[in-house]
Structure 1
Amino acid sequence: MLIIKKVAVALLATSASCNGFSSRIHPSQASRTSLQANSGLDTDLVLPSFSTKDEYTSYLQKAGSLPQGFAVGTAKGTFVSVEAPALGPLPIKATVIHLTEGPSDSWGAVFTGNRFPGCPVKVGRSRLVEGHPIQAIVINNKVSNVCPGGDGVAAAESVCAAVASKLSLPGGANSVIPSSTGVIGWRLPAKELAEDVVPLAIEALQTKSAYAAAESIMTTDRYPKLRSKTLSDGVRIVGVAKGAGMIEPNMATMLGYIMTDATIEKSKLQAMLSEACNRSFNSISVDGDESTSDTVVAIASNLKPLSSEDELKNAMYEICEGLSADLVRNGEGTGHVIRVNIANFPGSEYDARRMGRHLVNSPLVKCAISGLLAHCTVRNDPNTGRIAGAIGSFMGKFFPDKSVDEMSLTLGGRTIFSNGKFVLEGDAVEKELSAHMADAQLGEHDDFPKHQKFVEIGVDFGGTSGGSNVIVLGSDLTKEYVEVNADYRS
């Protein structure tokens, strides 16, 4: 099932559209108004444009100002893989997030739905079920500790124990959550992490910015991802995430950590996180593959009074939505980010998201958006027939009894399909559509996000009885994606 699974509590039934970036194009003004009313869209949540990597880095360092009661430290080390010793010493990074004022009961988490979860996921689920207060999170890249030889759970616990010992945590290893990302099947270099890298990360702990964590947790990511907000009462919330491939709910090859100094009950924080993730990370796809290690953790230091739970809930939603869009934009080989706005779908929001993911996961649609097909003479060839074909395929398989007679399609704000017919007469239309795609194009090797633009696809099923409204994000398919995944062991 394409839902985020969490431990001990059934997933909340939530409305499912994304909020987030300012939307330039929608199927219709009416559907846009309906979507915003139903989903709480914040259409002003847009990062500025950047001209250089240094500009982007400087922005994130300032935006990453940590909430009260948090410290972040990172460090680098090396290890030799038991599975591939011929590769010699390999780099590995550790990141430690520390609650400086003591353990917190106010934390929540969501994890992958993959049936082969990583050992850190198993440990995290156990911490959640048993209700342990948390005072630290330890994250490593390079090795995901998934189904390894030996005892992967014991390896993860040993790293947690090292963190607890070095920080003199009263709750011991049970107050530490582990996370790992990287190669699947390799044993975690627990000794190197526990004895060498983690102590250095703890020595590097600082209370200024979360930027170091956003950078340290990356694998094939081209740039770090960080979002933050200060509420009207001064409460601070900051989120960092990593992920570039295996992006498909539940949730992705992604790790996310959200920190706030708000005073809030555990159950309420968990509910906020579950809903935010379901409506953001669960509405994106890069390649349709679900990872074994996905984890999103939210934790509160409880050091500032919270005036409005709704304001915190909305802020968490905005941050998760911003990070989810960043993940797609930074997807492996991504040349365009696709935003599908579905209005009046004749079914549930869950099924509307399924249709959106079917569309953005269609290889033919992804290649058409990329404009890198071998037979294309023009880059950014709109190839609109593939969009209608993918939608028709989904509806024919799963909703054959639902009418599509009133469905209309837009690309870049221009109607391309209505009343069962394409509306594509004239060279000017082709040029307009191609220009829209070219405007949203990303650099193949950019190490920072130059813009926040989308290839905008609108799907409106019409009708007068209403329906489900959702937004789904996806990416195109480029030669670079193939090269990255052919060269990188996962």
Structure 2
Amino acid sequence: MAQIVESVKKLTSESIIAPKGFSAAGIHCGLKHKKKDLGMIVSEVPASVAGVFTTNAIKAAPLVLTKETVYTNEKMQAIIINSGNANACTGTQGMADALQMQQLTAEKLGISPQLVGVASTGVIGEIMKMDKVVTGIDMIQPGHTLENAIDFAQSILTTDTVMKNTAYAVEIDGQEVIIAGVAKGSGMIEPNMATMLGFITTDANIEQKELQALLKKTTDTTFNAITVDGDTSTNDTVLVLANGLAQNNPLTPEHPQWSVFEDIFVKVAEDLSKMIAQDGEGATKLIEVTVEGAITDEEARKIAKTVVGSPLVKTAVFGCDANWGRVICAIGYSGCTIDPTNILIKIGDTMVVEKGEPIPFSETELTAYLKNHEVKIYANLHQGDGVGKAWGCDLTYDYVQINATYRS
């Protein structure tokens, strides 16, 4: 990734509607007891759209519908999202409900149904209470205020404890271009996105083909590099809308500032990914694993994700136990090329393994480090030039409690 230039600024109003021409809203329609459960994002004009979706063979009805819309229409102007019900494993009724959500949103906004994406998150296997949704779509009124954006961010949450928002601005072709993102995700995070919804908006001028390629490339090193618990959801979706209202010259890999745009796009996705990992159900700590010296970047990412996904590593971090043996064990069963006699491991700044053998260290100092809210683990395999990162969280008593009573 190229170095981010000084003209880039992180926006303090980290709002999904920060880019020009976007509005949003979130309301309570009755799918959940009290909290907001219906959200909408709207662009003033049809936008280039890109999407990545779950790898689970069982896919929720709204995801199937939206994926077809993305790949056949290549434009999108609005997204309607509900939480509290995944509309997954709901058969023909589920697809009919997703289509109705799409149609009602289109009618409300006076646009074609083919310009509307649909996303859902929540309990699997329950038929949608469409009377609540129909009333909600009629009531919801997208706006341009920060309050509207906050309402939207709240409306997509399930077991999340915090909203997840980020936004950056950069000058391209003399025009300010903004990229903003919002996400939900707390559990069922592995592999390849998992029960997360991510939405990115930008006023950049970029065609669908370039946007889709950029999203796919970025997803491999961000959304696909997080893990909480080893479960993959039926609803995982990331959608990007680019409406071109910044009026920069069309962005392609040949554009002289393409690398700047790519850097910020990756940064938005990475911010959201780390927020999701840090907000893992019951989590108290963010774990970042960096691997260098692998045969390939792909193997480095795989090893990093194996380590951060290990229940034994996660529980050791929770318990502030400097048990590096669990780290090297996870490296060993990753299925990647390693030389056990050439592995170096650090926890924080403390080297604990060199050439596959233990290095004396202060248990007291390392235990104190492990009490931080962010724990970094580093491994160098000395096998090649591959580098990769992954993010996850510790595994706590609360994770079991949350998921034992999810439907209560």
- Using the size of structure 1 for normalisation, the TM-score is 0.76
Aligned to 1:437: 370
Letter in 2 for 1:434: T
Question: C-alpha separation between the residues in 2 aligned to 1:190 and 1:41?
Answer: 48
Question: C-alpha separation between the residues in 2 aligned to 1:43 and 1:187?
Answer: 49
Letter in 1 for 2:368: A
User: Could you say what secondary structure the match of 2:166 adopts?
Assistant: strand
1:94 aligns with 2:31: no
Aligned to 1:480: 398
Kept in 1, the 8 Å contact 2:3–2:263? The answer is: no
Letter in 2 for 1:99: S
Aligned to 1:357: 305
Larger strand share, 1 or 2: 2
Q: 2:331 aligns with which of 391, 406, 409?
A: 391
Question: C-alpha separation between the residues in 2 aligned to 1:299 and 1:363?
Answer: 36
Aligned to 1:74: 26
1:178 aligns with 2:126: no
Letter in 2 for 1:343: E
Q: 1:471 aligns with which of 382, 389, 399?
A: 389
Q: How many residues align?
A: 394
Q: 1:117 to 1:305 in 2, by over 3 A?
A: same
User: Could you say what secondary structure the match of 1:238 adopts?
Assistant: strand
Q: 1:311 aligns with which of 256, 260, 263?
A: 260
1:245 aligns with 2:197: no
Kept in 1, the 8 Å contact 2:166–2:181? The answer is: yes
**Mapping for residues 43-62 of structure 1, pairs under 5 Å:** 61=13
Question: C-alpha separation between the residues in 2 aligned to 1:42 and 1:218?
Answer: 31
Deviation at 1:90, TM superposition (A): 7.5
Q: 1:415 aligns with which of 323, 331, 351?
A: 351
**Mapping for residues 183-262 of structure 1, pairs under 5 Å:** 183-194=123-134, 196-201=135-140, 203=141, 205-209=142-146, 210-232=149-171, 233-262=175-204
Q: 1:352 to 1:41 in 2, by over 3 A?
A: farther
Kept in 2, the 8 Å contact 1:246–1:291? The answer is: yes
**Mapping for residues 270-349 of structure 1, pairs under 5 Å:** 270-306=212-248, 308-345=257-294, 347-349=295-297
Q: 1:263 to 1:291 in 2, by over 3 A?
A: same
User: Could you say what secondary structure the match of 1:305 adopts?
Assistant: coil
User: Could you say what secondary structure the match of 1:228 adopts?
Assistant: strand
Deviation at 1:403, TM superposition (A): 1.9
Question: C-alpha separation between the residues in 2 aligned to 1:225 and 1:78?
Answer: 23
- Using the size of structure 2 for normalisation, the TM-score is 0.91
Deviation at 1:65, TM superposition (A): 5.2
Question: C-alpha separation between the residues in 2 aligned to 1:303 and 1:362?
Answer: 44
Kept in 2, the 8 Å contact 1:148–1:185? The answer is: yes
Question: C-alpha separation between the residues in 1 aligned to 2:145 and 2:186?
Answer: 27
1:265 aligns with 2:207: yes
Question: C-alpha separation between the residues in 1 aligned to 2:62 and 2:184?
Answer: 16
User: Could you say what secondary structure the match of 1:135 adopts?
Assistant: strand
Deviation at 1:41, TM superposition (A): 6.5
User: Could you say what secondary structure the match of 1:227 adopts?
Assistant: strand
Question: C-alpha separation between the residues in 2 aligned to 1:317 and 1:286?
Answer: 21
Deviation at 1:269, TM superposition (A): 1.2
1:461 aligns with 2:371: no
Deviation at 1:139, TM superposition (A): 0.3
Which structure ranks higher in relative contact order (CA pairs < 8 Å, sequence separation ≥ 6)?
1
Q: 1:64 to 1:165 in 2, by over 3 A?
A: closer
Deviation at 1:147, TM superposition (A): 1.0
RMSD between aligned alpha carbons? 2.3
User: Could you say what secondary structure the match of 2:75 adopts?
Assistant: coil
Matched-pair identity in %: 32
Question: C-alpha separation between the residues in 2 aligned to 1:264 and 1:476?
Answer: 39
Question: C-alpha separation between the residues in 2 aligned to 1:362 and 1:197?
Answer: 41
Provide structure 2 residue ranges, at least 5 long, that are not aligned to the other structure: 250-256
Deviation at 1:393, TM superposition (A): 3.2
